[in-house]
Amino acid sequence: MSNRFQRALFVCSLASLPAVIYGFSNGPVPGRTGAAADGGLDCAACHRTFAPANSDPRGSLRIEAGPYTPGVVQTIRVLLSHPEAQRWGFQITARLASDESKPAGKFTPLDGFRVVCGGGAPEGNCGANPEFLDHTRATTFPGQSGGAVWTLEWTPPATASGGVVFFAAGNAANNNGNNQGDHIYTTSTRIAERAPCNLTTLPAITAVRNGASFRDTGFALNTMASLGGTGFQEAGATRGVSALDIVGGRFPVEMNCAAVEIDGKRAPITYLDANQINVQIPTTLSLGDIAVRVILNPGTANEKRSRDFSIKLEPAAPALFRFLPASAIAAIFPANGTPAADPAQVPGSVKPKIGDVITLFATGLGVSEPVYQAAEITPLTATPRVRDQLTVEFNGVAMSAGDVLYAGLTPGSITGLWQINLRVPANATPGQNNPVVLRMGSLASQPGVTVAVGP
Ligand code: HEC
């Protein structure tokens, strides 16, 4: 076998050298998702060691996508796993269920992805040709084991188009820099067009509570809050936010045909059922009495609005989350995530000792520096601290600045979740539940909540 022949086999096409350098681990050629309408080819055309695709049941490829609303951008996730793979790649395409040769909507080529086109159209500009969204080198995660998740943005067709089918292929690769020894998977998922909003109940708010203390006071910008009432959904429907609800890095302001308006602004929603909606109070400079209302079928002819419910906004609303139903403050050991509490109250927890570092979770600590907006997720690498003066009182004594290691937003979480990393101070009483109070000016967190300190 000549060298040249081996090489041709290796790239499995007569691709020119620049194409080899750019074209493969930096995102495959179009038309390799396994979709029958494209001839049924997938990555195993070149990554052949374990061909055909899906031959190793230890791995899997999955597409996560919910029903679409025409023209409304949504999140799609592609999840690939294999116990031995060390590098990851994928390609996905969206087609009309009524004619799988026709593209459905558009993918956004976010950082780390690229759009290649069928029909010979140039990269990034497919026109009426099918689109294929690929990984690029940056999103092959070389050296990562277990699996990979790609979070994509897709804009559905602008007009009602019926079902949409996604086809994807994934390469659970061995990171050897060539096309040998890699496991290929293919899958497809069909999504429906979302039914028009048509909730028939009339919503009524009976209570609004701080999301951590459950008191009916304690509201400030970006604070987590909980609405109680009736008719927020049809009976029995419950829904928490999932990864698919986070679009463009923001929590949704409409979920299951329900929205909450606070001081005239849409509030990000984190949970919803017939009798409860958990929200984040929008970033607002208002103080004093403001109106909260629930709106069903928002923006449609059959919109249903609750009567306004009044709450009082303050500059801050410090409150500590608890391990419900206990009076134990929600706290963990940051080193390993173990709950820091009395195991008699919170199963699986460990009591911290004097000198241990623990993390307490809170809401309502006002403005962070730098400022983040409601609905946003604090970046994993950011440490936005409390801007205004915060005093942490442990067992009745204000803690020294040296024992409060960090008071700021929680990286990777909604911007209403604050954390305080502190060293259990010397004045703590071992063997007892020690009260902790957060004070900002004249405002204080709820009384009666404690950290159990071990002997
Ligand atoms: C036309 C042949 C061909 C097709 C089709 C192809 N690849 Fe590849 N792929 C290659 C070659 C050649 C390499 C090695 C050179 C490079 O990394 O660019 C490679 C490398 C890779 C790597 C890095 C592998 C490693 O172990 O380091 C990934 C990931 C990858 N391809 C993903 C895919 C995916 C996903 C598909 C299908 C959607 C696909 N490829 C389809 C030829 C192909």
Q: Is 405 in the pocket of ligand 1 (CB under 6 A)?
A: no
- Name the stretches of the chain with pLDDT < 50: 1-23
- Determine the pLDDT at residue 15: 34
Q: Which of 171, 176, 186 to mutate to test ligand 1, by most ligand atoms within 8 A of the CB atom?
A: 171
User: What is the rounded distance in angstroms from the CA atom of residue 323 to the CA atom of residue 347?
Assistant: 10
Taking all residues of the chain, what is their mean pLDDT, rounded to a whole number? 93
Predicted local confidence at residue 326, as pLDDT? 87
For residue 173, the ligand 1 atom closest to its alpha carbon is: 26
Residue with the nearest Cα to atom 20 of ligand 1? Answer: 25
Query: What distance in Å separates the CA atoms of residue 352 and residue 69, rounded to the nearest whole number?
Result: 49
Distances (CA, A) of 81 to 1, 55, 61, 150, 433: 36, 14, 7, 12, 44
Index of the ligand 1 atom closest to the CA of residue 174: 26
Q: Is the CB of 321 under 6 A from ligand 1?
A: no
- Pocket perturbation via mutation, ligand 1, pick of 92, 179, 183, 188 by most ligand atoms within 8 A of CB: 179
Nearest-angstrom CA–CA distance, 434 and 73: 48
Which among 14, 17, 46, 184 is the best mutation to test ligand 1's pocket, defined by most ligand atoms within 8 Å of the CB? Answer: 46
Q: What is the pLDDT of residue 11?
A: 31
Q: Do 390 and 399 form a contact (C-beta atoms < 8 A)? A: no
Cα 44 to ligand 1 centre (Å): 9
Atom of ligand 1 nearest to the CA of 181: 26
Q: 47 CB under 6 A from ligand 1?
A: yes
Degrees (nearest 5) of the Cα angle 25, 31, 34? 100
Asked whether the beta carbons of 416 and 222 are under 8 A apart, the reply is yes
In angstroms, the CA 402 to CA 405 distance is 7
Kindly give, in sequence order, each residue whose CB lies less than 8 Å from that of residue 59, ignoring residues fewer than 6 positions away: 80, 81, 82, 83, 85, 172, 183, 185
Which residue's C-alpha comes closest to atom 30 of ligand 1? 25
Q: Which atom of ligand 1 is nearest to the CA of 171?
A: 35
378 lines ligand 1 (CB under 6 A): no
Ligand 1 proximity of 444 Cβ (cutoff 6 Å): no
Q: Is the CB of 45 under 6 A from ligand 1?
A: yes
Neighbours of 104 (CB within 10 A): 25
Q: Is the beta carbon of 79 within 6 A of some atom in ligand 1?
A: no
Instruction: Please give the number of the atom of ligand 1 that sits closest to the Cα of 86.
Output: 26
Give the torsion through C-alpha atoms of 205, 207, 211, 213, to 10 deg: 180
Q: How far apart are CA 38 and CA 29, in angstroms?
A: 12
Q: Are 141 and 160 in contact (CB under 8 A)?
A: no
* Residue-level pLDDT at 9: 30
Query: Which pLDDT score is estimated for 24?
Result: 62
